[in-house]
Amino acid sequence: MIFQRALQRELASVAGATFTVLFTIFVTWTLISILGKAAGGKVASADVLALIAFSVLNYLPTILILTSFISVIVAVTRSYRDSEMVVWFASGQSLARWVAPVLLFGLPLVLLVGALALYATPWAKMKSAEFVQRFEKREDLKRVAPGQFRESTSANRVFFVEGSTGGSTVVQNVFVNSVEDKGNSIVVAKEGVIEADGKGGQYLVLKNGRRYLGQPGRADFQSMEFERYRMRVGNQVPVIGADMPTDAMTTAALLALPNQFTRAELLYRISAPIMCVLLMLLAIPLGFVNPRAGSSANLILALLIFFTYSNLTKLFEASVKQGKLGFAVAWWPLHLFALLTVLVLFAWRLNVNHRWHPVMLMNSMKRRRLLQSAESRGAAQ
């Protein structure tokens, strides 16, 4: 009991520090990415905080899996480095006694990863997709930021306004370049007002301006001045959420719609908690380090194993999505291989003194070569 309580405290302490570091890294990376999109006009500036929250929630299962794996491997490595494992083994205890407290520590994390992967993450992706779609499908004038050139949704019109007032319904110093059948149309005006027609359409009414029409590179441009010019800039309100990606669908919707795309996404979601359990178990035998060997590469090895496991999961997901493998065949082989790897490594550490253990065989071969060398030197003398 004393050992379990001490190990629980150490694992919780290491997990807290690891989670803080990983969470900070992911939040910083997400912040830079979304701010770059906002600066490029791909997302609304007002939606930045919400999109950051949704993105972080999307990455939480990965952060928690990596946190649990690193926490266990750091705790085991420290025990070896401080020679606590020497005392542990000398008192007749086995490395397998670590399994129960590690699983007790990891059970809440596994349940949380499962809940996030199956329910919270799809919701976050759905809300994020809705924000992006709402921004992409809004009226052309709402896409415009003062002082910046912006392209319309149909990609045949470019807007520029110097400023806006009245809740963005009144714009000043407007420039509009449109590609039409007769050529390019350029409209400049001192002021414009956004009006609705009551049927979902949006119009930009320009005042005191000039319109140019003609082909680029030719001199026969037509020019006219106007006091009032009406231009359609928005259609009926689009339906948001009609084309949601598969990874934004709820788990219940995936189960109700059996096809290769939904099954591939379901495979990826159920793999998250399984991966969390197996990596924590793998960290116990993987944390071995020789106290006299100095620094070890256990953390680097842990990161390589995690990313390899994650990429292989993505590979099986892609195989199901492409129809190369069925869901019933694809979801278990990788996890079974990981479980067998855990058992092999445990057997390696538990039977290190067995006569047929590779380490014992190598030591026996070294002793045999030394004896043969000594005998040959004695015979030569």
Contacts of residue 86, defined as CB under 8 A and 6 or more positions apart, other chains included, come to 291
- The mean pLDDT of 354-377, rounded to a whole number, is 62
Written as six digits, the tokens of 138 are: 């809004």
Please tell me the predicted confidence (pLDDT) of residue 194: 75
pLDDT band at 90 (very low <50, low <70, confident <90, very high): confident
| DSSP code of residue 237 | P
Please tell me the predicted confidence (pLDDT) of residue 28: 94
What is the residue-averaged pLDDT of the chain? 82
Please tell me the predicted confidence (pLDDT) of residue 267: 94
- Give 27-47 pLDDT, tens digit per residue: 999 999 998 888 877 787 888
- Give 157-189 pLDDT, tens digit per residue: 787 877 776 555 677 888 888 887 777 888 888
Residue 11 has pLDDT above 90, yes or no: yes
Radius of gyration of the chain (CA): 32
Torsion 268-273-276-280 (CA) sign: negative
Beta-sheet strands, E only, within 181-324:
183-196, 202-214, 222-234
From CA 219, how far away is CA 248, in angstroms rounded?
Answer: 53
The whole-model pTM stands at 0.74
Give the number of other CB atoms < 10 A from CB of residue 137: 14
The three-state secondary structure class of 137 is coil
Task: Tally the C-alpha atoms within 13 A of residue 359's C-alpha that lie toward its C-beta.
Answer: 8
- Give 96-152 pLDDT, tens digit per residue: 889 999 999 999 999 999 999 999 999 999 999 888 877 766 555 555 667 777 776
List helix spans (H) across the chain.
2-39, 48-81, 84-90, 99-115, 121-136, 251-256, 260-286, 298-321, 327-330, 333-350, 358-380
From CA 205, how far away is CA 241, in angstroms rounded?
Answer: 31
